[in-house]
Amino acid sequence: MKCDSLIEALSQRVKVLEVTRQYEDQVTALVELNDLPEAVSFLYYGKGGYLSTMVANDEREINKHYALYYALSMEGGKMFEGDELAQEEKCFITIKALIPADNPTYPSVTPLVPACVWYEREAYDMFGLVAEGLPDKRRLALSDDWPNDLFPLRKDAMDYRYRPDMREHYMEPEFEFLRPEGSGIIDVPLGPLHITADEPGHFRLFCDGDTIIDADYRLFYQHRGMEKLAENRMNYDQMGYLAERVCGICGYAHAIACIEAAEKAINLQIPLRAQAIRIVCLEIERLHSHLLNIGLACEVTGNYNAFMHIFRIREYSMKLAELVTGGRKTYGNVVMGGLRRDMTGTEIKESLKILQIIETQVEEVWDAVMDDKRQISRWKGVGILDKQVARDFSPVGPNIRGCGIKRDTRYDHPYDFFNQIEFEVATAQGGDVFAREMVRYMELKSSVSIIRQCFELMPQTPIMIDPTFHVQPENFALAYVEAPRGDNVHWIMQGSAQKVYRWRCRAATYNNWPSLRFQFRGNTIADAALIVCSLDPCYSCTERVTVVDVRSKKSKILTRLDLEDFSKTLKGNPLKDLK
């Protein structure tokens, strides 16, 4: 069985209290709380794991403890050619540790595995679990004026709407950005609000002149509480519709990951035709997402002509989505046991015609972009993600494949119909904006090929089986899909009466954010927007410039008139008189 040899190696390193298997490629090992950092770091660096997700859970009703689940994708380090596990060894190993209810503290894993930092910060926000030794203990998901004794995902959390201290929000404390040491550093804010941003982000660039020395950022301005909502009110099919609304681009990927987590928890196998159509829809999302990002990466650098042509092509991918699902973006097609809607032969023939148009026109526009030396110069050497930083922080999607690291869930852990599909994992060298956009271009061609293969091999089976099943409380499993931005990972623990006990939704961008500050360093302010764009999130920029004296920690926000006066006196060191 998969994972057995890795679990045996882990047992020789730390004491493993219990081993349970959730699925053929998913195993959970329970370890002593004090052994948690050693167990995770051993699998991460010693055995070639990457952090897929970490789940905190309130299990006091089950075993009188809180629990932590660190889910690792075992693939091999992939730092050089051949540095990966054989396909039959690749699997998911989850390290579980129980935390006493009367002492909710645990040793932080972050000092050994930097990729854990956001997860452990969020575990405090949502559950009040304190990571001892965590280098960064600032809030992550909740606002800074949130009550210190209210943890939303605890099972006994009081409804915050009825607390008097949650009704009066007059002055939220200022978030403490991590500033570098030194004098004469300019603090340039980007964000947090802009009318075109679907999820605002507040970035702080710390600059010496025009060069970014370091950066920090504050996100989670629109935390919607979906996990809590699902626990209280929804059955699994309803959760799929909710998950589809996590993201405006890869909603189908979230819906599939959510539903397949529930399916795997009960070992429910769906028909092959449903598997194939699910893959078709996932690859259609990759088409319109990558076309969107390549177009925006051109627009940010002023190449509006390429932007308009790419968006013209993107419209064909939306028509393709409508042919396959009946909807251009919100599909409502994924349910327990399969799909709600099948495809006709006529729809498949029309889809093949549209695929040919997309393939031809994408190549034409991309060749034109590559002939534009100015465009290429704006992409090359900008926003470099160092390969070792990528290894330390477990980014996903084009962000890590642009570093030459061959990580792709479709390749490492084939799901649904992918065992019958041939494709090459797109990678590029350099780790810069150019490499990430090159990966997206190669994946556009790959997605067209994958969709064609699904149509050619389309199994003649039903699209749905009877999803009736007996709920098994406390069963859990994770599911994963390779969304356009990287793998989305969903973890579900079953409750009773077809209700979920705990749902953990981890979007791809969550794993990409922590390493962003390293990509900013050494670049210019003018390239900041392009670097963020190349990660494929949303960002905004509305604030004015702030000049900060890091020694006295005093700051001054410059008005328009201040900026005009400031620009007239750029002689010697213009910052010396600003306090």
* H or E element in which residue 258 lies: helix 251-265
> Does residue 247 have a known ligand-binding role?
yes
Q: Cβ atoms within 10 A of the Cβ of 66, count? A: 23
Cα–Cα distance measured from residue 214 to residue 528, given in angstroms and rounded to the nearest whole number: 11
Cβ–Cβ < 8 Å for 205, 215: yes
Q: Cβ atoms within 10 A of the Cβ of 15, count? A: 12
133: left (phi over 0), alpha (psi -120 to 50) or beta: left
Cβ–Cβ < 8 Å for 336, 237: yes
Residues near 331 by beta carbon (within 8 Å), at least 6 away in sequence: 244, 251, 252, 255, 281, 321, 325
> Does residue 533 have a known ligand-binding role?
no
Cα–Cα distance measured from residue 386 to residue 393, given in angstroms and rounded to the nearest whole number: 11
Cα–Cα distance measured from residue 329 to residue 306, given in angstroms and rounded to the nearest whole number: 24
Cα–Cα distance measured from residue 143 to residue 9, given in angstroms and rounded to the nearest whole number: 42
At CB < 8 A and 24+ separation, what contacts does 489-494 make?
489/52, 489/53, 489/71, 489/257, 490/243, 490/254, 490/257, 490/258, 490/260, 490/261, 491/53, 491/55, 491/69, 491/71, 491/261, 492/258, 492/261, 492/262, 492/265, 493/57, 493/265, 494/262, 494/265, 494/266
Cα–Cα distance measured from residue 352 to residue 209, given in angstroms and rounded to the nearest whole number: 53
Task: Output helix, strand, coil percentages for the chain, rounded to the nearest 5.
Answer: 40, 20, 40
Cα–Cα distance measured from residue 363 to residue 314, given in angstroms and rounded to the nearest whole number: 13
Cis amide leading into 164 (omega within 30): no
Cα–Cα distance measured from residue 483 to residue 397, given in angstroms and rounded to the nearest whole number: 8
- Terminal C-alpha separation, the chain: 65
Cβ–Cβ < 8 Å for 249, 285: yes
Cα–Cα distance measured from residue 559 to residue 545, given in angstroms and rounded to the nearest whole number: 8
> Does residue 244 have a known ligand-binding role?
no
CA nearest to 5, candidates 54, 48, 67: 48
Cα–Cα distance measured from residue 355 to residue 349, given in angstroms and rounded to the nearest whole number: 10
Longest dimension (CA), the chain: 76
Residues in the chain: 579
Q: Cβ atoms within 10 A of the Cβ of 121, count? A: 19
Q: Which two tokens stand for residue 378?
A: 């704006």
Q: Which two tokens stand for residue 542?
A: 């509305």
**Sequence ranges of the binding site:** 227, 247, 250, 538, 541
**Sequence ranges of the binding site for Mg(2+):** 227
**Sequence ranges of the binding site for Ni(2+):** 247, 250, 538
